[in-house]
Amino acid sequence: MMDKALGQILLEKNIISQLELESALMRQRQEKGKYLGQILFEMGVPQEEINKALYFFDKRKPIGQILLDLKALTPQQLEDALTQQRQLQKEAPRKLLGMLLVEMGYISYDEYSTALSKHFNIPIISLEEFFPSTELQKVVGEKYARKHLILVLENNDKMIKVALAEPNLLGMEELQKGVPGRKRIEFYLARPDEIESCLDRISDSPFMTRYK
């Protein structure tokens, strides 16, 4: 079973203890629908370590399979979308399967977000009441943040927390490499329109000239 294999990998790498693994597996049985990685993150296991194990040991579930697990999609709908994706790829850059499913009307954007959250092991966050900070945003810079829809949520001595609209492994690795010192990045998933709204508010700030 995939989740048990992930737990064993983390145990063997001394990232979690046997007690933590048993506790996480117990929670997983009680909290139906949650993947083990999600539960371990909620227990305080570093997101970066979980994602490294998922990536390097090929334990990350595909978006399509996650949507099937969630019963948000039928196998036939998934096959239709994959066929459509292959056809579109001949004429244009590869379209992300999740967004294609949304455009085809097979799933809602919220269902897509849930699948993304599970795929990348990053929690979903609402930015409706979040007050963006010009100073915080300097960590990634205005142009880069606009291009990739990134919002910095927190920056302390040990960690930087950022919200992403469309996470991808390459972009996440690029951000991690750009972090000074031994800080680590913790990623969250937010709606594109909410990130854009926060970035707009930063642009309207009277301190924007300093930010640029």
CA dihedral 95, 111, 63, 194 (to 10 degrees): 60
- Within the chain, which residue ranges are assigned CATH 3.30.300? 134-211
Using a 10 angstrom Cβ sphere, with 0-12 exposed, 13-18 middle and 19 or more buried, the burial of residue 184 is middle
The sheet carrying 159-164 orders its strands as: 150-155, 159-164, 184-189
- Overall average pLDDT of the 142-153 stretch: 92
pLDDT of residue 205: 58
Mean of pLDDT values over 173-199: 89
**Whether residue 147 has pLDDT greater than 70:** yes
**What rounded mean pLDDT belongs to the chain?**
88
Q: Which residues contact 71 (CB under 8 A, 6 or more apart)?
A: none
Average pLDDT estimate for 83-87: 90
Check whether 18 has a pLDDT greater than 80: yes
Is the Cβ–Cβ distance between 211 and 192 less than 8 Å?
Answer: no
Which pLDDT band holds residue 167 (cuts at 50, 70, 90)?
A: very high
Share of the chain above pLDDT 90, in %: 59
Which of 151, 154, 70 has its CA nearest to residue 117?
70
Short-list 2, 20, 15, CA closest to 57 = 2
Quote the pLDDT of residue 125.
95
Residue 212 is encoded by which pair of tokens? 């640029």
- Which CATH number, 2.10.25, 2.40.128, 3.30.300, 1.10.3470, labels domain 134-211? 3.30.300
pLDDT above 90: residue 68: yes
Query: How many other C-beta atoms lie within 10 A of the C-beta of residue 109?
Result: 12
| SS percent in the chain: helix, strand, coil, step 5 | 55, 10, 35
Query: Mean of the pLDDT values across residues 71-93?
Result: 89
Average pLDDT over residues 199-208: 71
pTM here? 0.83
Contact 149, 166 (CB under 8 A): yes
